[in-house]
Each structure stands twice: as C-alpha cells, then as structure tokens.
Amino acid sequence: MTMPVPDLKRRLRLAAALLGASAALGACTHTNQETVTGSIPGDYRQRHPIVIQEANRATEVFVGSGRGGLTGAQRSDIAGLAEAWLREGTGAIVIDMPVNTPNARVASDSLREIRAILSAIGVPPHGITVRNYRPSDPRLFATIRVNYPRITADAGPCGTWPEDIGPSIKNKSYLENKQYYNFGCASQRNLAAVVANPSDLVQPRQETPPYGARRVVVLDKYRKGEGSATVYPDDQKNKISNVGQ
C-alpha cells in the first residue's frame, strides 16, 4: 500500500523542521571547559623585575630659629650632593625653602651658603631652582629640602603573600614544588639598591683601551719563545695548599 503524496510531503516538512530545531538547540549548548589564564611566572626575575626609572635624591638641612649658616656636617652633605649631581643628575637642583615659619629668616641666610657651595663644586646658576613651601602645621620643624632627579633602579614592593606557603591542598605552589610568590623579591630589591650605575643592569659598559706598554712586552716575549706570564719573586709567593702538587 503506497502512502498518499500529501501525507508524504507533510511528513518530510515535519522531519526538516525537527532537524532545524535540533541544530539550533545544539548551537546554544554551553560546555563546562575551564578557562586557561596566565599563571604566575616561575622565575623570580619575572615576578619581581628590576625597574629603571627616574626618582629624586633629597637632602634635608635642619635649620634652627637662632642660628644662621650651616654646620660642618651640613656643608659636607651639600658638597657631596653637588658632586653626585655632576655625575648622575638628570635635572636641576631644586631647593625648597620654608616660609611663614619661626626659622624662615635664618633659612634664607643658610640658602646663600648652600648656593655658594653648589657654585664652588661646579653647579651652574641655571642648574639651581629655588621655590617656597608652607608646612601643613606651622608648629612643625621646617627644613630646607635640597633634591634633584636621577636615574635609579628599584624592585618590589616585597611582602606580598597571595597564598599560604605551608603544606595545604589549596596551595598550588607547595603541591607543584614551585617557588612561592615573594621568593627572590628581597634579593632583587637589594641588588637594585646597591648597584652604582643602573644602566649596568641593562647593558655592559664600553671596554677600556688596552695597556699598550704591557702588550708590547708580552708580544716581544712571544716572538722570542719566552713565557709571557709575570714572574714574581719567591718571597712574594703565597701558598695556600700543596694539594695536587
């Protein structure tokens, strides 16, 4: 028995509609896949990088209300600041002077001596800027602030503990035997503080020229077939151990 043509067409349209609905529902299905995010770097130099930036170096001059001028130690501080500015300064020396304070008049007398010391060391007049400031509380002891910008290295801040470092099932660093977050921060911060020239952390310095006189002596001994090593007298030889001899 054959199915009538209208019934066959109706069933085909129904099947097509069901397939279209299932496809639409399949497109809206959400999966429970975990979102992978960037993990904490395993290298302490990446977690706590040393940053080269510009910061101020400041020296405060304490001035009383009854004495003008600087003490011997204060003159030494200002002279040392001026010499450091010649080597590393990236901007003008700024002198902040207190106003409307009990020691404001005496501070103005000390300013003349500060400028004289800076000029004697080699700081040009256009390299000094003087500006006034008012303390938030007039009763506070106001100082003369001498500062200038320079290139410095810094790292940190340290002391960040996002996870417990003890044994715990919630501590991924402990379970995976990885460094905890604060590891290496103090070493990086100390290295940034003691480095003399911050640019040494980024690039090497230029080589110094060779010592020509010593090179001539070494090459002359090489041509003669002699040993080029320096020979020290027996009384200047220090022996730590005879192991291996």
Tokens of 69: 């001028």
| Residue 153 host element (H or E) | strand 143-154
For residue 155, is pLDDT > 50? yes
Question: Quick check: is 77 in a domain?
Answer: yes
Mean per-residue pLDDT of the chain = 81
Q: Is 97 exposed, middle or buried (0-12, 13-18, 19+ CB in 10 A)?
A: buried
Question: Quick check: is 84 in a domain?
Answer: yes
Regarding whether 136 and 84 lie in a shared domain, the answer is yes
Question: Quick check: is 200 in a domain?
Answer: no
Q: What is the mean pLDDT of residues 101-125?
A: 92
For residue 233, is pLDDT > 80? no
Regarding whether 110 and 95 lie in a shared domain, the answer is yes
Point out the least confidently predicted range of 20-34, 70-84, 90-104: 20-34
Q: What percent of the chain has pLDDT over 90?
A: 38
| Residue 144 host element (H or E) | strand 143-154
pTM higher than the cut 0.85: no
Point out the least confidently predicted range of 147-151, 202-206, 208-212, 228-232: 228-232
pLDDT higher at 57 or 245 = 57
For residue 125, is pLDDT > 80? yes
pLDDT at site 209: 86
pLDDT higher at 210 or 87 = 87
Regarding whether 132 and 145 lie in a shared domain, the answer is yes
Regarding whether 121 and 72 lie in a shared domain, the answer is yes
Question: Quick check: is 114 in a domain?
Answer: yes
C-alpha 213/C-alpha 100 separation (Å) is: 65
Reported confidence tier of residue 14, pLDDT bands at 50, 70, 90: low
Regarding whether 94 and 76 lie in a shared domain, the answer is yes
CATH code of the domain containing 101? 3.30.1330.60
Residue 122's domain spans which residues? 55-151
- What is the total count of domains within the chain? 2
Regarding whether 173 and 145 lie in a shared domain, the answer is no
Q: What is the mean pLDDT of residues 232-241?
A: 62
Q: State the alpha helices, DSSP H only, in the chain.
A: 5-27, 44-47, 72-88, 104-121, 172-175, 185-194, 212-224
For residue 235, is pLDDT > 80? no
pLDDT at site 7: 64
Give pLDDT tens digits for 184-221. Answer: 999 999 999 999 889 889 888 888 888 888 888 889 98
Question: Quick check: is 227 in a domain?
Answer: no
Q: What is the mean pLDDT of residues 137-156?
A: 87
Regarding whether 176 and 98 lie in a shared domain, the answer is no
Tokens of 41: 């770097």
Give pLDDT tens digits for 156-171. Answer: 889 888 877 777 777 7
For residue 2, is pLDDT > 90? no
Regarding whether 133 and 67 lie in a shared domain, the answer is yes
For residue 64, is pLDDT > 90? no
Reported confidence tier of residue 15, pLDDT bands at 50, 70, 90: low
